Amino acid sequence: DTGVSQDPRHKITKRGQNVTFRCDPISEHNRLYWYRQTLGQGPEFLTYFQNEAQLEKSRLLSDRFSAERPKGSFSTLEIQRTEQGDSAMYLCASSSEQNTEAFFGQGTRLTVV
């Protein structure tokens, strides 16, 4: 098992463009989380999936953000019409139902210019 994998590691985009990030969780984990981290801050919760069901969304997740987890495996996070304020590290984590220890990926660093 290679742990939680995120792709791409870095993304630079122009304001107004759409971007999509991918997260592959640890294979036996049915829970998947997205967090956002800005410089000097701790990660902030965005959304949570149990299998393919999106069970919780933060108010931080505006209408421009959408996340999916088809078939309960990998997940995608899409940001439409990106703004400079969206520049951050987007982190994905996974855990199992039996052991709630969260394991994080290396993150996707988004820069909106």
Partner 1 sequence: KQEVTQIPAALSVPEGENLVLNCSFTDSAIYNLQWFRQDPGKGLTSLLLIQSSQREQTSGRLNASLDKSSGRSTLYIAASQPGDSATYLCAVRGFGNEKLTFGTGTRLTIIP
What are the residues binding partner 1 (CB under 8 A)?
A: 4, 6, 31, 33, 35, 40-45, 48, 50, 55-56, 58, 91, 93, 100-107, 109
Pairing state between β 88-95 and 31-37: antiparallel
Q: Least separation, in Å, of the C-beta of 85 and partner 1?
A: 19
Residue tagged 């997740």 (tokens): 61
Please, what is the minimum distance in Å from the beta carbon of residue 81 to partner 1? 26
Q: Which is nearer to partner 1, 35 or 65 (CB)?
A: 35
- Cβ-based nearer residue to partner 1, 34 or 79: 34
Shortest distance (Å) from residue 48 CB to partner 1: 5
In angstroms, the CA 6 to CA 2 distance is 11
Owner of token pair 């792709």: 7
Q: Tell me the closest approach of the beta carbon of residue 40 to partner 1, in angstroms.
A: 7
Written as six digits, the tokens of 68 are: 């999916």
CB proximity list for 53: less than 8 A, separation 6 or greater: none
